[in-house]
């Protein structure tokens, strides 16, 4: 596996290389054993291209597919949304009608933010909160959200904060926020 500068991974599968676009922080949410990782892949077929998009969790892939049903949201915009917001943060923003937060995502303007809220309000309720790698217990969205908020308020980009929080794993739901913040900052340094 090689990480490309454009946000893609070059995966070696039995000697064949596949370029897979992934949201920021997706690698931290994958289940890995040695040199192998498990990605949930969506194949996007167009008249002129066949693109692969990989996700660390099945819930991310389901939300990606929901985002594709919204007018003017293509696969690259959907990956951008999932790079800037975790599944649980997106669900919270949509349910609260937080247009300002959605409009901060690169490539999303006020109208698209309004469309996201309108189209996804009922659909995201069925998607489970961020579950982490397959088989892992669900992470408390409250503790995760507070930690992500603290890091972004300190000036870190949402994608960087997401990667640091994902690297903490199961500690996020168990350890005190101050301790988690110190560990996350150490990983960001």
Residue-wise pLDDT tens digits, 26-76: 666 666 666 677 788 899 888 888 899 988 888 889 999 999 999 889 999
Last residue of some domain: 126, 150, 173?
126
Domain of 12, CATH number, reads: 1.10.150.20
Question: Which positions of the chain have pLDDT values less than 50?
Answer: 128-140
Q: Is residue 147 one of the residues assigned to a domain?
A: yes
∠65-136-170 over CA atoms, to 5°? 115
Q: Do 92 and 10 share a structural domain?
A: yes
Q: Do 153 and 116 share a structural domain?
A: no
Q: Do 101 and 20 share a structural domain?
A: yes
Q: Is residue 14 one of the residues assigned to a domain?
A: yes
Last residue of some domain: 101, 126, 151?
126
Element (H, E) at 142: helix 141-153
Q: In what order do the strands lie in the sheet with 50-55?
A: 2-3, 8-13, 16-21, 50-55, 40-45
At 7, is the secondary structure helix, strand, or coil? Answer: coil
Q: Do 82 and 15 share a structural domain?
A: yes
What's the pLDDT score for residue 3?
56
How many structural domains are present in the chain? 2
Domain around 167: 141-188
Q: Do 43 and 113 share a structural domain?
A: yes
Give the count of beta carbons closer than 10 Å to the beta carbon of residue 106.
9
Q: Do 150 and 121 share a structural domain?
A: no
Q: What span, in angstroms and rounded, lies between the C-alpha atoms of 80 and 2?
A: 20
What's the pLDDT score for residue 122?
82
E strands of the chain, at which residues?
2-3, 8-13, 16-21, 31-33, 36-38, 40-45, 50-55
Q: Is residue 131 one of the residues assigned to a domain?
A: no
What's the pLDDT score for residue 131?
42
Give the count of beta carbons closer than 10 Å to the beta carbon of residue 40.
19
What's the pLDDT score for residue 67?
93
Task: Please give the share of the chain, as a percent, with pLDDT higher than 90.
Answer: 17
Q: What span, in angstroms and rounded, lies between the C-alpha atoms of 22 and 16?
A: 18
What's the pLDDT score for residue 140?
45
Q: Is residue 24 one of the residues assigned to a domain?
A: yes
């Amino acid at each position: 596996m090689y990480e490309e500068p454009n946000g893609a991974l070059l995966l070696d599968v039995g000697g064949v290389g596949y370029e897979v676009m992934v949201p920021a922080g997706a690698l931290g949410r994958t289940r890995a054993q040695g040199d192998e990782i498990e990605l949930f892949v969506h194949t996007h077929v167009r008249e002129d291209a066949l693109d692969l998009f990989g996700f660390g969790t099945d819930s991310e892939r389901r939300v990606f597919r929901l985002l594709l049903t919204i007018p003017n949201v293509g696969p690259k915009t959907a990956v951008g949304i999932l790079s800037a917001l975790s599944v649980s943060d997106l669900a919270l923003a949509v349910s609260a009608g937080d247009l300002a937060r959605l409009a901060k995502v690169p490539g999303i303007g006020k109208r698209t933010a309004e469309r996201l809220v309108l189209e996804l309000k009922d659909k995201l309720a069925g998607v489970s909160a961020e579950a982490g790698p397959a088989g892992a217990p669900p992470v408390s969205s409250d503790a995760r959200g507070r930690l992500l908020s603290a890091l972004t308020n300190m000036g870190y980009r949402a994608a960087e904060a997401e990667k640091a929080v994902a690297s903490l794993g199961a500690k996020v739901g168990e350890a005190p926020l101050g301790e988690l913040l110190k560990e996350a900052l150490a990983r960001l340094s």
